[in-house]
Chains A and B, each alone.
Chain A
């Protein structure tokens, strides 16, 4: 514990250095702004910012991105409350009660509850991040290749099974992401594969152009299709933005419960903020003495949704730091950011780059305070950004997508990759294939394959340790249960429907 606290002090020292602090504030503000503009997401912002981080020191780069992560999850609550348009997918549940409350003449109160809940969720999950990341990373050092392989296998099945859409589409998206990561010289054997004898593919498809394509370009195409949508608007109000102490106490139990749910959901690989807020909202509604008020402007509904979605941020950073497994799509992008700076996330991260880890943890804390201050001070102005005409904004973002992809290695090949994956991502989304598993599959596949092949080399080609080593077996069993459970559920539903 002493080492953790001293590490945290060191991290806070790094974050409060003038340049790093500037980047935390900048990242949080940009995250809030982008989160508040419907159609733009935190993943898009972070993917587009990655190229600029090449030129920063690693600490500045990660604190900037963490600030964006925290800000973007929170910024979405403004449009969810005032426009019934969730700024990011994780704010969907907030629209159910935030908008009715705003329509009923209490927009300041609705936003104030959301801001306070977001802060509470961020702080609750941050405490778990601080306390769990190091012990979990120490535990993870016991993992051999088969444990890692089965852990990633479990993560992939989990991501596919809880993503939007059905399990099979989630699995196809995840496997496609894995396949797309395979062209290039195979690092285990030095053998070129899937390169079509084309030298440009020897280095494989890079993460950044694929990310920008899948998250930014495909989103822009979807947004252009949606340009005609009319927006109902409620004006913002300053009254009620700062929650009095008695309200913090009154909603304390809900904040704590939803914060715990959000943190736990965040820890599960790849599940993300949307699911966290849905589970917390449903749980709070089920426990409420007045469930009928939910969906009509319930304070508890706003608190549950916003606490949980912000709590997933800290939760999702735990497996990233401790094991190198992304807890959400944005965490997959953060892994990319770390790798750009030659930092490999995983159990050894505390030893090899302890300063960067504690800077990330400290940035998560500081970004939550910055978020609280910025949201209370400027929600009215930020709300106006939602009316920036998207007809002007979207083409400008495409230009930045081109710059971001080209800036990686100064080759047009990466721009073409971005464009092609923009179209592929758009097509997948139209058919309701979740994009989260695709990106996480792309990031995790090289590690998964490397672990499997290392394990097989150690055992002379046998996979028996997968069944004889307890941790590997446990991950494998969970993966099988996660795979079979939805199918059994579907079969039982169909049988019940046929019987009825």
Chain B
């Protein structure tokens, strides 16, 4: 018998899906009916969102009633994943506000992220610094000069 997903995860994700669908459903309330075609712009998103909400509610009910053993996900990587997400969020925010150049932001981001994952092991840090600088400044050079692509940042 297959393990089931942790009910907290199951219900949490179903609620997330319901919230997305409910917001979409709410947003369609003011769309006028079609003037030159029978369906109009609202019914398809409304029907889609409605079906999603119904099915996600069904999944919540099933998660509450299911008695199979729960597959507990390993917890050891959670802190690392959280840290990577947080640092990525800060990296993207820094780029949004163009705090400095892409190369500098990327170098700092890579040093902090890789450093966090390897617990800032002193022996490995010179390699991390070199890799971060090569990727940061190298990608800025390659993308802006060779591929002629704009990059975020100053």
Please state if B39 and A225 are interface contacts (CB–CB under 8 Å): no
Please state if A169 and B118 are interface contacts (CB–CB under 8 Å): no
Please state if A179 and B52 are interface contacts (CB–CB under 8 Å): yes
Closest-CB distance, A498 to chain B (whole angstroms)? 14
Q: Which of A226, A407, A456 contacts B38 (CB 8 A)?
A: A456
New contact pairs (9) apart from A403-B139, A406-B150, A453-B39, CB-CB < 8 Å: A172-B17, A176-B20, A193-B27, A193-B42, A226-B77, A227-B80, A398-B84, A406-B95, A415-B96
> What's the Cα separation between A228 and B118 when bound, in Å?
11
Closest-CB distance, B42 to chain A (whole angstroms)? 7
Q: A191-B41, A225-B81, A227-B117 are in contact. Are A415 and B5 (CB under 8 A)?
A: no
Residues of chain B lying within 8 A (CB to CB) of residue A402: 91-92, 95, 152
Q: A193-B28, A221-B85 are in contact. Are A431 and B13 (CB under 8 A)?
A: yes
B65, CB-defined interface residue at 8 Å: no
> What's the Cα separation between A80 and B36 when bound, in Å?
57
| Most B Cβ at <10 Å: residue of A52, A172, A428, A449 | A172
List 13 A-B residue pairs with CB atoms under 8 Å apart, sorted by A's residue number. Answer: A55-B147, A182-B45, A193-B45, A221-B84, A227-B80, A227-B117, A394-B84, A395-B117, A407-B149, A412-B92, A412-B96, A433-B13, A452-B44
> What's the Cα separation between A394 and B52 when bound, in Å?
33
Q: A395-B117, A399-B106, A403-B149 are in contact. Are A179 and B37 (CB under 8 A)?
A: no
Residues of chain A lying within 8 A (CB to CB) of residue B84: 220-221, 224, 394-395, 398
> What's the Cα separation between A168 and B110 when bound, in Å?
40
Q: Which of A168, A172, A416, A460 contacts B92 (CB 8 A)?
A: A416
Closest-CB distance, A161 to chain B (whole angstroms)? 14
A-contact bits for B115-133, CB 8 A (1 contact / 0 none)? 0011000000000100100
Please state if B152 and A406 are interface contacts (CB–CB under 8 Å): yes
Main secondary structure of the interface of A (DSSP, over half): helix
Q: Which of B89, B131, B151 contacts A406 (CB 8 A)?
A: B151
Closest-CB distance, B126 to chain A (whole angstroms)? 13
Residues of chain B lying within 8 A (CB to CB) of residue A82: none
> What's the Cα separation between A226 and B76 when bound, in Å?
9
> What's the Cα separation between A460 and B36 when bound, in Å?
10
Please state if A453 and B45 are interface contacts (CB–CB under 8 Å): no
> What's the Cα separation between A52 and B139 when bound, in Å?
13
A-contact bits for B136-154, CB 8 A (1 contact / 0 none)? 1001000100011111100
Please state if B59 and A169 are interface contacts (CB–CB under 8 Å): yes
Residues of chain A lying within 8 A (CB to CB) of residue B104: none
Closest-CB distance, A453 to chain B (whole angstroms)? 5
Residues of chain B lying within 8 A (CB to CB) of residue A179: 20-21, 24, 45, 48-49, 52
**A97-105, A125-133, A309-317, A419-427 - interface stretch:** A419-427
Please state if B45 and A194 are interface contacts (CB–CB under 8 Å): yes
Please state if A189 and B152 are interface contacts (CB–CB under 8 Å): no
Residues of chain A lying within 8 A (CB to CB) of residue B28: 193-194
Closest-CB distance, A484 to chain B (whole angstroms)? 15
A494, CB-defined interface residue at 8 Å: no
Query: How many residues on the B side are at the interface (Cβ–Cβ under 8 A)?
Result: 68
> What's the Cα separation between A235 and B123 when bound, in Å?
28
> What's the Cα separation between A431 and B73 when bound, in Å?
11
Residues of chain A lying within 8 A (CB to CB) of residue B88: 398, 419
Please state if A428 and B13 are interface contacts (CB–CB under 8 Å): yes
Closest-CB distance, B92 to chain A (whole angstroms)? 6
A351, CB-defined interface residue at 8 Å: no
Residues of chain A lying within 8 A (CB to CB) of residue B52: 172, 175-176, 179
Residues of chain A lying within 8 A (CB to CB) of residue B59: 168-169, 172
Residues of chain B lying within 8 A (CB to CB) of residue A224: 77, 80-81, 84, 117
Closest-CB distance, B88 to chain A (whole angstroms)? 6
Please state if B77 and A228 are interface contacts (CB–CB under 8 Å): yes
Closest-CB distance, A84 to chain B (whole angstroms)? 18
Residues of chain A lying within 8 A (CB to CB) of residue B13: 427-428, 430-431, 433
Residues of chain B lying within 8 A (CB to CB) of residue A456: 37-39
A461, CB-defined interface residue at 8 Å: yes
Q: Which of A172, A395, A398, A410 contacts B56 (CB 8 A)?
A: A172
Output the nearest chain A residue to B107 by Cβ-Cβ distance: A399
A352, CB-defined interface residue at 8 Å: no
Residues of chain B lying within 8 A (CB to CB) of residue A51: 149
Residues of chain A lying within 8 A (CB to CB) of residue B41: 186, 188-189, 191, 193
Residues of chain A lying within 8 A (CB to CB) of residue B78: 225
Output the nearest chain B residue to A165 by Cβ-Cβ distance: B5
A253, CB-defined interface residue at 8 Å: no
Q: A193-B41, A406-B152, A415-B95 are in contact. Are A399 and B135 (CB under 8 A)?
A: yes
